[in-house]
Amino acid sequence: MRNKGRIIFISIIVALLLIVGALYFFNINIPYFQYIERGIYNLLSPIIEFFSDLYYNTVYYWQGVLNVDEVMEKNKSLERQIATLKLENLRLESYKRENKRLRDLLSFKNHIPFETLGATVIGFSPSLWENKVIINRGSNDGIRKQMPVISYNGSLVGRIDYVGSSSSQISLIHDPEFTVGGIVQRTDSRTIGIVNGQLNNDQINIMDKISWDADIQTGDIIVTSGFSNNYPKGLPIGEVEEINSDNYGLSQSAKIKLFSSLKTIEEVLVITDF
């Protein structure tokens, strides 16, 4: 009798696993499941945000207390830097006005900068194979799937992969699933290729599908090509570190050292109007 019960139990489990496996392999989305998924995500992400804030505030507070001399020294140097930057800003303001005047004279189309939204990283991916971060902005703040994400120095960080109501997940540029079109920034080259992330390497991406006779050199800056309409044109990705022959000499591939330091990333900007 006990054996019979066990056989029924195991059969139910196997059947359930087969159904779940089929849902995964055939990529079937059941709408009802999506509501449960969003519900659980939206329920748990504020807990993660709360503990993340608590943890980082405590760490930063103690870092400040323990390195008070260093903090004061840094503060002084930053104040000096601000004074220099204010002067430079004034100079740039005059260039901006001059640029606008000349553009008006030549009837050029106005360059509109992107609308961005700042976000704080509250957590990292709980998986060995996927490089994602969780940020504290979601659909309530106007975040949508596929929006490009940049760092404060303007380089590409990734794209929005999943949106909850008050938090979202970013697929980072060094994720093995991440692909973006890249182009050499040098005006006399404009070589194109596909930039891919690598497993367990947060510093180097691989740019492949480069034509065998393309003009690409070590030290070249790679920016987004903008051919795919998924990313704006000209976002910096990284610098060419090494060039290798690929596909038995039929094409080339390059190792790209990324500009964004993704392991310690704390704040990002989401481009909301692209």
Least distance between other proteins and beta carbon 47 (Å): 6
Nearest to 253 by CA among 201, 199, 221, 216: 216
In this structure, the strands spanning 236-246 and 116-124 are: unpaired
Other CB atoms within a 10 A radius of the CB of residue 84 amount to: 9
* Contact residues for 218 (Cβ-Cβ < 8 A; gap 6+): 240, 241, 242, 243
Query: Which residue lies nearer to other proteins by CB, 47 or 106?
Result: 47
Coil, helix or strand for 141? helix
Sign of the CA dihedral running 230, 176, 211, 203: positive
Residue with Cβ nearer other proteins (161 or 220):
161
CB of 33 to other proteins, least distance (A): 5
Q: Which is nearer to other proteins, 24 or 248 (CB)?
A: 24
Q: From the CB of 41, what's the least distance to other proteins, in Å?
A: 5
Q: Give the nearest distance from C-beta 123 to other proteins in angstroms.
A: 4
Distance CA 71, CA 77 (A): 10
Query: Minimal distance in Å, beta carbon 8 to other proteins?
Result: 13
* CA-only gyration radius of the chain, Å: 24
State the binding string over 116-155 for other proteins (x if CB under 8 A, else -). Answer: ------xxxxxxxxx-x-x---------------------
Q: Which is nearer to other proteins, 155 or 169 (CB)?
A: 169
Cβ nearer to other proteins, comparing 23 with 66: 23
Residue 252 lies near other proteins (rule: CB under 8 A):
no
Give CA–CA dist 93/188, Å, rounded.
Answer: 31
In eight-state DSSP terms, residue 166 is S
Nearer to other proteins by Cβ, of 20 and 102: the residue is: 20
* Total residues interacting with other proteins, rule: CB under 8 A: 38
Task: Out of 136, 151, 169, 225, name the contact with other proteins by CB under 8 A.
Answer: 169
Q: Which of residues 31-60 bind other proteins (CB under 8 A)?
A: 33-34, 36-37, 40-41, 44, 47-48, 51-52, 55
Give the max Cα distance, the chain.
92
Residue number, 84 or 264, with CB nearest to other proteins: 264
Distances from the Cα of 36 to the Cα of 41, 56, 212, angstroms: 9, 30, 50
Instruction: Work out the angle between the directed axes of helices 31-66 and 68-106 (0-180°, nearest 10).
Output: 120
Q: Is 20 in the site for other proteins (CB under 8 A)?
A: yes
- The residue written with tokens 């900068």 in the block is 113
Q: Which amino acid is at 39?
A: G
Give me the residues that bind other proteins (CB under 8 A), please: 9, 13, 17, 20-21, 23-24, 33-34, 36-37, 40-41, 44, 47-48, 51-52, 55, 122-130, 132, 134, 161-162, 169, 171, 176-177, 199-200
